[in-house]
Amino acid sequence: MDRTIKGILKESIPILILCTIGGVMAGLMLQTLETKLYLVPGILILIPAILGMRGNISGTLGSRLASALHLGLIKPERPFLGYLMPMRWNKLLSDNIWASLILNVLMSFLLGIIAYVAYILTMPQEHSLILMFQLIMISLITGVLAGVILTGLTVSLAIITYAKGLDPDNVLMPSLSTVGDIITVLCLIIAVKIVV
């Protein structure tokens, strides 16, 4: 793999351009939710945190998988069906996937509680158990749905980029950040429609 500045730029610039466009798309999708957002007090506290959390969990998983690929601890393969199952499952891969999924559930639940507490600290006259339930459920539904999708996507992208001779470290973080934002906003729209 080409490790020069030219090689890094060649791999990173196209991804970063796509990520910029994807970030604007996520903002446009969020704007379509504007009228529903006003129905759930405190949701504006939740949105940046849940977007950041998705990127952090997926990015950490991507970094661990990239390191494991570089060290030869996970081996990409090209089975008969192409990239449908592009890796040999082992304990390291399985442990990383389970840890990521568990973190998504735990942190989403905790984030709902923290968003509620932050809201009642800034708006003490407007607290209720219904609002707490709404924020926790929106956070949980969004986090779990997006987390499952992003975990699968992270594993696939790590393996496919490595198998194609690209450095996953140059591709995963920016692409997971942007795709994670888009997927999380879509899951947030679903969650708000379910809860509200």
Q: In the structure encoding, which two tokens stand for residue 30, read together?
A: 């969020």
Q: In the structure encoding, which two tokens stand for residue 4, read together?
A: 């020069």
pLDDT of residue 136: 95
What is d(CA 174, CA 35) in angstroms, rounded to the nearest whole number? 30
Q: In the structure encoding, which two tokens stand for residue 110, read together?
A: 């905790």
Rounded mean pLDDT of the chain?
83
Domain ranges of the chain: 5-195
**What is the three-state SS of 32-99?**
HCHHHHCCCCCHHHHHHHHHHHHHHHHHHHHHHHHHHHHHCCCCECCCCCCCCCCECCCHHHHHHHHH
Residue 26 makes CB contacts below 8 A (sequence gap 6+) with 178, 181, 182, 184, 185
The predicted model scores a pTM of 0.81
CATH number of the domain at 5-195, please? 1.10.357.20
Residue 184 makes CB contacts below 8 A (sequence gap 6+) with 26, 50, 51, 54, 142, 146
pLDDT of residue 89: 66
pLDDT of residue 196: 81
The predicted-structure confidence for 53-95, as pLDDT tens digits, reads as follows 888 898 889 889 888 888 888 877 654 344 444 455 678 888 9
Cα distances (angstroms) measured from residue 132 to each of 72, 113, 122, 155: 46, 7, 14, 34
pLDDT of residue 7: 76
Place of tokens 């407007």: 126
What is d(CA 171, CA 15) in angstroms, rounded to the nearest whole number? 7
> Does residue 133 have a pLDDT over 80?
yes
> Does residue 96 have a pLDDT over 60?
yes
User: Where do runs of H (alpha helix) occur along 123-167?
Assistant: 129-163
